[in-house]
Amino acid sequence: MNNGKISASMMCSNLVDLKKTIEIFEKEKIEYLHIDMMDGDFVPNFGLGVDYIRSLRELTTIPLDLHLMINNPEYKLDWIGIHSDDIVSIHYESTTQVQRVIDRVKKYGCKCFLAINPATPIYVLEEVLDYIDGINLLMVNPGYAGQKMVSSTMNKAKKLHEFLKENKHEDMTIEVDGNISPIKAQELKKYGASIYVAGTTALFKENVESFSDNIRKLRLVI
């Protein structure tokens, strides 16, 4: 049974076609809109900001998948306007107070995921598994759209799946983010992935008229 969810990476969307894009996503029942928030410090780029989020909320009720690629997110959560049906991913590498940030995110009633970069070892998750709702496994180094997958991350996904079983958290939600094609999504499903960030590789290809077909092709394998 295919029950994977799609999180459409809005950093890859064309602002000119934004309204039409959202209409297609609503028709195709896209589960989340993935919002890459960057501060130019944690990653060498600037991403989507709070004004963009406010405007997006006026266009749709699709929940947001907020990926915070920002240093010290504990001081910036109130800026965002987090809703209870959103996902908020904080990076393990972005703060020395991981547990404190998780607790603060939880106060919004949303789901809190912990994101880890390709070179961050899986064992850092061990002490917070009881407090998070999911793991955002980065398959590329964060900061830019259109990157190639770091080759070691497919094996890392397999190791994560085994790690969660060993720690009796095999039902933990795994989100995969970065260069997710339908072929790679099918492989990652074997390792427990259930949320797939769809960007330039799987969804935002060609023009807006192709989006429905691209979504349906991805749904066939997740």
Give the start-to-end residue ranges of the domains of the chain.
5-219
pLDDT grade for 145, boundaries at 50, 70 and 90: confident
Task: Tell me whether strands 173-177 and 193-198 are parallel, antiparallel or unpaired.
Answer: parallel
Q: What mean pLDDT do residues 48-77 have? A: 96
The model carries a pTM of 0.96
Among candidate residues 36, 39, 65, 86, the one labeled active-site is 36
Among candidate residues 39, 65, 86, 177, the one labeled active-site is 177
pLDDT grade for 44, boundaries at 50, 70 and 90: confident
CATH code for the domain defined by 5-219: 3.20.20.70
Verify whether residue 177 is a known catalytic residue: yes
Q: Over 80: is that where the pLDDT of 144 sits?
A: no
- Distance, in Å, from the CA atom of 157 to the CA atom of 195, rounded to the nearest integer, reads 13
Verify whether residue 78 is a known catalytic residue: no
- Distance, in Å, from the CA atom of 7 to the CA atom of 68, rounded to the nearest integer, reads 15
Please compute, for residue 14, the number of CA atoms within 13 A of its CA located in the half-sphere on the CB side: 11
pLDDT grade for 107, boundaries at 50, 70 and 90: very high
Q: Over 60: is that where the pLDDT of 207 sits?
A: yes
Instruction: Report pLDDT digits (tens) over 110-124.
Output: 999 999 999 999 999
Instruction: Note the pLDDT of residue 161.
Output: 98
